[in-house]
Amino acid sequence: MTLLRPNQILIFDLDERIDSEDTRLEIRRCYSFIGNPLIRTHAPEAAEGAESEGEEEEPIKNSVRLQIGLGTSDYLHSSVEGADELWRDVIEPSISNMLHKIGANMKAYNRRQRKIGLPEINVSRLDIVLQNGQLVIGMHPDATSLLGREQRTLVDDARRMLNDGTLAGAVRIDIPSDESYDTQEREQRAIWDEAHPAEEEPTEEELRQAAQDAAEEEYDQHLVDNARIGRADQEQGTDRFLDEKWLEEDARRKSYENTAVPPVDTDILPTAYHEPEVPEAPLFDFDLDYSVWSVTYEDGSVRTFDTTTATFVD
């Protein structure tokens, strides 16, 4: 059997407030091993109750769209001969692999962005487009934009329920529903904020004092290093940095022909300075409950489905 490879297109939809050439270059660089991502932007939404442009805006929201194609082959509907085999052997493993790569890359990408001082790309939704748009499955990543193993099995569950009649006629399934996600995030955010109170910003005087203390500490270390070198010179009875014979001998010992000979001055040279590693502050996160889905039908109607009881709750 010929190994089929689905066509996968990754599209980033960024809030224009974080769009920049540097951000685009970083996205293309970090996701190059997955494919060449397409990048588009959207204007920020006005906050609820805002009457005119320029008033308070909604928080930054970004989304990613993953389009899965396999030519004219039908892999979505079990009623088509061979569709289940295509799904099991080609599409489902491909989606699982892509979700793992995208999720892990999102987390690593944001960690790097924090270190280099560029904006993070937190993704509030990943849309998986199946069978040329006949079904879209909207996945909510967790608070760190990570897609977990559980989410990869939910895509297969959604297709199964589409075909067994439970969700017949659905054109879009959001896992979990927007309302469920927003409620969970709001409640968990309140718990997090209570457990992690925000630290007060330092005053200008405190910042000046900290800078002065750091400068004095650096100067003191410089004096210590110089004193240590001076003591070593005294013990050997010569000024090593003005002794031409010693310099010639030192250069000979450090030459490529004598690399096995350790440098004679290693023990007395100042230790190279390395920027200390600053531990990252804990990031807001919570265990997301995926049990409540939002199901949209062709006529535009939307229903809420509880997977724990396999029933609609509205």
Looking at residue 257, its pLDDT comes to: 52
Pairwise CA distance, residues 40 & 57, whole Å: 20
Residue 106 has pLDDT above 90, yes or no: no
Looking at residue 146, its pLDDT comes to: 65
- For residue 308, what pLDDT band results from cuts at 50, 70 and 90? very high
* pLDDT tens-place string over residues 258-272: 555 455 555 555 555
Looking at residue 77, its pLDDT comes to: 96
Of the listed ranges 70-84, 207-221, 232-246, the least confidently predicted one is: 232-246
Looking at residue 105, its pLDDT comes to: 84
Looking at residue 135, its pLDDT comes to: 97
pTM (two decimals): 0.71
Average pLDDT of the residues in 235-255: 58
Average pLDDT of the residues in 72-100: 92
Sheet holding 38-42, edge to edge: 38-42, 7-15, 62-69, 123-130, 135-139, 170-175, 292-297, 302-306, 311-312
Pairwise CA distance, residues 102 & 64, whole Å: 10
- Smallest CA-to-CA distance from 6 within 113, 112, 130, 102 is with 130
Q: Which amino acid is at 298?
A: E
Average pLDDT of the residues in 224-237: 58
* pLDDT tens-place string over residues 152-201: 789 999 999 999 999 999 999 999 999 999 999 999 989 988 888 876 66
Q: Give the rounded percent of residues in the chain with a pLDDT score beyond 90.
A: 37
45 close to 15: Cβ distance less than 8 angstroms: no
